[in-house]
Every structure is written in structure tokens, then in C-alpha cells.
Amino acid sequence: MERPVPLLGDLSFRRTVHQGLFMKKAATPPDDVFQIRCPKLGHQIHFSYCRTENAGLPCSRTLQCWYGYFHVEEYLRRELTPEQWSEAFEKPVKPKILSLVELIEQAQKRGGTGEG
Ligand code: SF4
């Protein structure tokens, strides 16, 4: 007995369904409406912030913080040059007090000094 040959459209449909059922995480970040709790700031934050937190480069903790939500490493390896990757993730971690000083300086630059 001859088996029917599936049409290309059928195969494509099955592949789409298969991907939809088994794909757990996407390789693109979620929209800014989706937020996680930032351990540095102590409040909810979206990925766009983390992506540029370090003077335009990703925060050094981005891989750990966003690992459970999408393929963050795959995404950032696509987005960053090897030099940017190294600068963001392979440099020694600064002491917390220096990070706080930098956050304060960045906030002052964004909002002015308050002196007028
Ligand atoms: S990646 Fe950095 S800025 Fe973003 S949530 Fe984690 S610690 Fe906070």
C-alpha cells in the first residue's frame, strides 16, 4: 500500500506547531512591559535598562538576571562585538560602593545637579 506524500504546506504547518509546543524561550528580549526585580536597584526594571546600564553596554549581571526569561546570551552575542562582550562581562566586578557612586553620577547627569 502506497503512503500519501505530505504536501509542503502540511510539513510547514507541523514544524510551526512543533516549535510552538517545544520552544520554551525566545532569542529576543521581552517588551518593556515585562519587568523583573533588579537586585541592584531593589525595584522592577525592564530589559532595555539592563541592556544599556553600563555606559551603553549591558549590566554585568544581565546574563544571570535574564537567563530564565529568554536566550539572553544568544541575543547579546549577536548584538555585541567581542570587545563589547569582554568589556561588559569579563572585567573584574567593581566593589558595590563604586557602582553606587556611578549610579548617583548617572542620575545626576540625567536629572541635573538640582542646583540652580
Ligand atoms: S541586569 Fe543589572 S540592572 Fe538589570 S536587573 Fe540585573 S542587576 Fe539590575
pLDDT at 26: 86
Is residue 38 lining ligand 1, measured as CB closer than 6 Å? yes
Per-residue model confidence (pLDDT) at position 49: 97
Q: How far does the centroid of ligand 1 lie from the alpha carbon of residue 16, in Å? A: 33
SS (H, E, C) the chain: CCCCCCCHHHHHHHHHHHHHHHCCCCCCCCCCCCEEECCCCCCEEEHHHHHHCECCECCCCHHHHHCCCCCHHHHHHHHCCHHHHHHHHCCCCCCHHHHHHHHHHHHHHHHCCCCC
Confidence of residue 3 (pLDDT cuts 50, 70, 90): low
**pLDDT on residue 11:** 42
Mutate to test the pocket of ligand 1, among 35, 37, 40 (most ligand atoms within 8 A of CB): 40
pTM for the complete prediction? 0.64
Task: State the closest ligand 1 atom to the C-alpha of 59, by its place in the atom list counted from 1.
Answer: 2
Inform me whether the pLDDT recorded for 113 exceeds 60: no
Q: Is the pLDDT of residue 46 over 50?
A: yes
What pLDDT is attached to residue 98? 80
